[in-house]
Copies of this chain bind each other. A is one copy, B any other.
Amino acid sequence: MTLVLSNEDVESLLTMPECIAALESAYRELHAGDAVTRRRSDCMTSTGRDDGSVYGFKTMDGVVPGLGFSAVRLNSDIVTWPKVGNNRRRVKVPSAPGGRYVGLILLFSTANGEPLAMMPDGMVQRMRVGATNGLGAKCMAREDASDIGILGSGFQAVSQLQAICAVRKVKRIRCFSPSPENRTRFAAQMSEQLGVEVVPVSSTEDAIGGADVVMCSTNSIEAIFFQQWMEPGMHVSSIKMPEIDEAALKRADRVGLHFGHQSPDVVAARGVEAEDHRPGLGWQASRGFDFSKSPKLPEMLAGAAVGRKSDDEITCFINDLGLGLQFAAVAGVAWRKAKDAGVGHELPTDWFTETVHP
C-alpha cells in the first residue's frame, strides 16, 4: 500500500533528533559520493492574472540508497513579492481550492522502485530546514553556546529553536519580529514546548546583544543582519541566501554553506522576471562574497573541513538552497514511523505503478 500522510500526521510523527540523525547520515553518504541530489529547478510563467503574480513550478530530487529512499519535492505556486515593513518578501498566494498552498513530496524505495508515500511538503520542509541549521550550528557554533537570539517568529522559527536545542545546551532565547503579537505568542508557545524561557523583545539589538548564536528566520529577500552586530565567538545562521548582509559575511572568520548550490536553475517564460532573481536580491545577494573557500555542511560532518577553530571566531552558516536529498531522508523517517504507528490513508500501490514498460 502507498501511504498518504497529512501535515498533521507528519508533525505528530517527526522529532527533531530523528530528523537531525537522518540528515546527518544522508549528508555523509552524499559526501562519500553514494547519495545524489539534483539542483532545485524553478519553471516560471505567467498566471494570466493581472496582479503581477507568477506561476512557479519548482522541483528537486534526491536519492539516498543507504537509507533506501528517493524523493521528489514539488511546489505549484502562485507567487508575489510584496513589501512588508522595510523588506521585500517572497509570498505565495494560497489559491488552490479552500485557499490552500500546493507542495508535495513523493517518496520511493531505491530497493525496488515502489512509491511508498505522498505527503504535503510543509512539515517536512520545516523540519529539514531546522535540522540543517542545527547541524550547521553543531559544526560551527561554540561548544558552550547557550544564549540564542532569533529574528523572526513565523513557521520556520519553530524548528530553528527545536534544532539549536537539540545540538546545544540552551539556557536563554530572545526573539524579535516586527509584530508584537506574533513575537509574544511565539515566545509563549516555544517556552512551553522547549522548556527554555523564550523572551519577546522589541528590537533586533535587544534580541542579539551578547548572544552566542543568532538565527535569522525570515521570508526577507534583502539583508536583515548587519556587521555592526557581530561579536567575537558569535555564530550567525540564515535560512535564505540574502538574510546576512554581504559586509557581515566578509567580517566573519568563516562562512559555511549548506551544499553550495546557491541558486536554483531557472527556466522562465518570456517577460517573466521573479523579484528574487533580480541582481542584489534573493538568490543574487552577496555575489561580491567569495564562497570558494566556504566549507560545505557534508564536508564538515564528514570531518573533511573545519567549522570553527577557536572560541573567539565569528562564524556564519548559510542554508543556501534546499536539496531533494533532504526530503528523501526526512520523509523517509515520517513514512517509517507512520507504518509502525498505522497512521495515514492507505491507497493501492497498483494505482501508482504499471504493467507496461514506459
Contacts and interface: CB of A to CB of B under 8 A. Distances in A.
Contacts of A45: 34-36, 63, 65, 110
B37 A120 contact: no
Nearest to A49: B111
B63 A97 contact: no
Copies of this protein chain in the complex: 2
A357 B79 CA distance: 11
A356 B123 contact: yes
Nearest to A118: B352
Given A103-B354, A351-B6, A356-B155, A61 B43 contact: yes
A179 B204 CA distance: 75
Interface residues of A, number: 78
B98 A350 contact: yes
Nearest to A95: B112
A172 to B, nearest CB: 28
A45 B65 CA distance: 7
Interface stretch (A131-139, A163-171, A263-271, A313-321): A263-271
A76 interface: yes
Given A104-B352, A354-B101, A355-B100, A113 B77 contact: yes
A195 interface: no
Given A36-B43, A43-B62, A48-B65, A353 B111 contact: no
A32 B74 CA distance: 26
A185 B118 CA distance: 40
A28 to B, nearest CB: 13
26 contacts: A4-B351, A7-B354, A36-B267, A36-B269, A38-B59, A43-B63, A45-B110, A46-B65, A48-B110, A48-B111, A59-B61, A65-B269, A74-B106, A76-B109, A76-B115, A78-B112, A96-B115, A96-B349, A97-B114, A97-B349, A100-B350, A102-B352, A118-B351, A120-B356, A121-B358, A155-B358
